[in-house]
Amino acid sequence: MEIGKWFTEGILQNRVYIIAEISQNHDGSLGQAHAFIDAVAGTGVDAIKFQTHIAEAESTPDEPFRVKFSYEDKTRYDYWKRMEFTFGQWEELRRHAGEAGLDFLSSVFSVEAFEMLEAIGMPAWKLGSGEVYNKYLVEKMVKTGKPILLSTGLSSYEDIDRQIELIRTNPYAVMQCTTAYPCPPEKIGLNVITDMRERYGCPIGLSDHSGTIFPSLAAVANGALMIEVHVTMSPYMFGPDVKASVTIEQLREMTEGIRMITAMRNAPVDKASLNEEQRELKRIFAKGIYLKQDVAKGESLTIDKVAFKKPLKGISGEHYEDALGKRAAKDLKKGEALQWSDLEGGSAAK
């Protein structure tokens, strides 16, 4: 579902919007970036998301590595430089995603990156956990009128309150996020999804970095309406986000699970009333009382004279105590299902 339609219709249907976050897992290869689009398109997600970095606009040679991982980049600045694509290349990626039936999203980390993607045509803006403090950039996003997805990995509730005040004129969703790669289960923060929904009254999502499908499934069961998860082709690929990513196969499984959970959430079952199908199943699976031997009229019914068999006909096995001790109202044959009318006082039977 396109994100604009999701904000107007999908939320009302409790439909979960799923984003496959590629981040830098293409490792600067344009071909690999296109390959991700084709791979992700078959998993049932709604969007593919990249990150648009322009080294000169967002970084300096003094920026430290969060995790020293690279064998070929001397500095973090060099790494961002190697991750850059041109305007034309980003435009082709957006076009390819659209042809594959995916929304194309990309986090931006500078005003220059924002202006480039705005010219390409973005359906919504994702504000990364660090960029929410770039007020000038946020204000430019707000002026487009497009939906804003707010990540909260570095934000306190007071920070989020201020950020929402900035973006509240636009459609928006708030993403619970913990800035840890990979994120351990005790830091996922499932409780925050409920807290945020009550506090802000808007769609709440989870931006997950655990490298597994389980937090996303649990988040949806707890009411999350948006999921963003990092994706890799293989856990053996090179890059800083690979350990925090799920594989394409896991992404497909996660998406199937989310759709099933959503179907369950949207169809509450009334246990107080059994439908006709369940009544029929009860007759098939539950046991009734059958006679193990002939019983003469006037003879008292005892436990050694009955058996409990399927299908349920006549008296249910759950009422055997009410039947025992009663006298036969007529001659009864071995193998018959016992009816209340077969017993004296049957008119008062259950």
Collapsing DSSP to helix, strand or coil, 83 comes out as helix
The reported pLDDT for the residue numbered 275 is 75
Collapsing DSSP to helix, strand or coil, 26 comes out as coil
The reported pLDDT for the residue numbered 48 is 98
Contacts for 91 with CB less than 8 Å, ≥ 6 apart = 120
What's phi and psi for 339, nearest 5 deg?
A: -110, 155
- CATH fold, domain 276-348, is Type Iii Antifreeze Protein Isoform Hplc 12 (3.90.1210)
Instruction: Render pLDDT for 260-296 as a digit per residue (tens, 0 to 9).
Output: 999 999 998 888 776 777 888 888 999 999 999 999 9
Task: Please answer whether residues 283 and 312 qualify as being in contact, where contact means their C-beta atoms are separated by less than 8 angstroms.
Answer: yes
> Per residue, what are the HEC states of 216-229?
HHHHHHCCCCEEEE
The DSSP annotation for 41-60 comes to HTTT-SEEEEEE--HHHH--
Collapsing DSSP to helix, strand or coil, 31 comes out as helix
Which residues of the chain, if any, have pLDDT below 50? 348-350
The reported pLDDT for the residue numbered 350 is 47
The reported pLDDT for the residue numbered 62 is 85
Please calculate the CA angle 134-139-145 and round it to the nearest 5 degrees.
135
What spatial distance separates the first Cα and last Cα of the chain, rounded to whole Å?
Answer: 53
Domain positions in the chain: 3-265, 276-348
The reported pLDDT for the residue numbered 213 is 98
The reported pLDDT for the residue numbered 347 is 52
The reported pLDDT for the residue numbered 348 is 44
Strand duo 148-151 + 125-127: pairing:
parallel
**Superfamily classification of domain 3-265:** Aldolase class I (3.20.20.70)
